[in-house]
Amino acid sequence: MNIIVFFLVLLVLMLVHELGHFIAAKKAGVWVEEFGFGIPPRLFGKKIGDTVYSINMIPFGAFVRLHGESEGEKIKKSKKAFVSKKPWQKIIIIIAGVIMNFILAIVCFAVVYSYTGVPRESENVTVISVFKDSPAEEAGILPGDVVFTLDGEKVKSTDSFIRIIDDKKDTEVDLTLLREDNEYVNTTITPRGEPPAGEGPMGVAITSTEIYFPPLWQRPFLGVYHGFKEALFWGSAIVLGLLDMFRKLFVGQVPADIAGPVGIYALTSKAASVGILTLVNFVGIFSVNLAILNIIPFPGLDGGRLMFIGAETVLGKKILPKTEGYVHALGLIILIMLLFAITVHDVRRVLDAGSISGFLDSILR
């Protein structure tokens, strides 16, 4: 079942990506010769209109074959060839896959928010967790408590909470808490002047964000809004992660948290075991990841093709088709070798960990 879920997730992600190329190509008047499910050799194909829709032997992803993707091909319909289109049309066709992956991510996050509730800022500062052996634990503060007042001053935001505590270090402070059963609890606490790293003077983690459930008709719209923000958040996090990975590779370090197909399989299995919403959320994160990776200006990727279009536009002349073909082929070879090396690395880590679950723990640690 985990294997089936894994391949279904990959199929959906890549099918959505290729659907973006397909729609944009059709709109631009490019002849889409084939829209394939899986990787050839072909098992079954049916021609509808001027496009062959095929099911292929290797159940991994999807692809679209555009007429005249390079000038080296034999072009039967010059007006419907990709190479005959204007640069801006080519760019739209290429980035359409990335855009579709972002749209899929937004939809996934919107579904999750619609069911689990929408976050919003409130005037309640709530304790999320209490550190062991901290002043907060000694004062009897519990997760879920709302900090009502500090030294008689109403606490309305995390900023006001931090300001009051910073002014009261090593000084006893009167504290009023509101418990989940609407019971007010009065206690005293002495914030530490030199707390352990990451714990803060009181030893609590706090938030002013609360989860609420708006009317059903509002949830899809708010879900899309917060889904868009979530997609941007993960996009920036992935970009920063990639920059850090390249920095480590440049100085000869192998990033410990890098994972290939085996790692993705482990993460997919874990997400599916938790529940459908967790799996949907994971698909959203994965879709953003796929979009970012595809737009990297590396030969063989969508970003590499954009790079050549940009170079042709700047130089004002065509790059030899054979040259571009060789560069993309070399890029694909490098990517396949890298994927193989990461897979071997993953398998070794699975063997060292003794199981997929142990390997997963090493990734998430």
The catalytic residue positions are 18
Q: Which runs of consecutive H residues, i.e. helices, occur in the chain?
A: 2-27, 87-116, 135-138, 158-167, 219-250, 261-274, 276-295, 302-315, 321-353, 356-364
Axis crossing angle, helix 302-315 with helix 321-353, rounded to the nearest 10:
150
- As a whole number of angstroms, the distance between CA 306 and CA 297 comes to 7
What residues form DSSP beta bridges with 301? none
**Is-cis flag, bond preceding 201, omega within 30?**
no
Nearest to 363 by CA among 293, 233, 353, 230: 353
- Cβ atoms of 325 and 308 closer than 8 Å: no
Tokens of 46: 């049916």
- 3-class secondary structure per residue, 282-317: HHHHHHHHHHHHHHCCCCCCHHHHHHHHHHHHHHCC
Tokens of 96: 């359409």
Axis crossing angle, helix 2-27 with helix 261-274, rounded to the nearest 10:
110
Query: What burial letters (b/e) apply to 5-39, b meaning 16+ CB within 10 Å?
Result: bbbebbbbbbbbbbbbbbbbbeebebbbbbbbbbe
Question: CA angle 121-125-131, nearest 5°?
Answer: 125
- Cβ atoms of 206 and 125 closer than 8 Å: yes
Contacting residues for 159 by C-beta, under 8 A, at least 6 apart: none
Backbone phi, psi, residue 188, to 5°: -125, 155
Tokens 């996009």, located at residue: 235
